[in-house]
Amino acid sequence: MNTIFLDVMKIEVDDPVAFTFFTGYMSMLAASVFFFFERGQVDGKWKTSMLVSGLITGIAAVHYYYMRDYYASGNGTPVALRYIDWTLTVPLMCLEFYLLLKPAGAKASFMWKLIAASVLMLVAGYIGEAFTDGSTAHSVKWGVISAIGYVYVLYSAWLGEAKTLAAASNSPAVAKGINALAWFVLVGWAIYPIGYMAMPGGWLSGMFQPTDVNLFYNIADAINKIGFGLVVYGIATSESK
pLDDT tens-digit readout, 90-119: 999 999 999 999 999 999 999 999 999 999
Name residues whose C-beta falls within 8 Å of residue 50's C-beta, 6 or more positions apart in sequence: 35, 36, 38, 39, 42, 232, 233, 236
The Cα–Cα gap between 53 and 142 comes to 30
Q: Which pLDDT score is estimated for 101?
A: 96
The Cα–Cα gap between 22 and 189 comes to 21
Domains of the chain are 2-240 (1.20.1070.10)
**Burial (CB count within 10 angstroms: exposed 0-12, middle 13-18, buried 19+), residue 173:** middle
Q: Which pLDDT score is estimated for 127?
A: 95
Measured between alpha carbons, how far apart are the two ends of the chain, in Å? 45
Each residue's pLDDT, cut to its tens digit, for the chain (241 residues) gives 444 444 444 666 678 898 999 999 999 999 999 999 999 999 999 999 999 999 999 999 999 999 988 988 877 889 999 999 999 999 999 999 999 999 999 999 999 999 999 999 999 999 999 898 878 899 999 999 999 999 999 999 999 999 999 999 989 999 999 999 999 999 999 999 988 888 877 777 777 777 788 999 999 999 999 999 999 999 999 988 7
Cβ atoms within 10 A of the Cβ of 38, count? Answer: 16
22-32 pLDDT, tens digit per residue, is 999 999 999 99
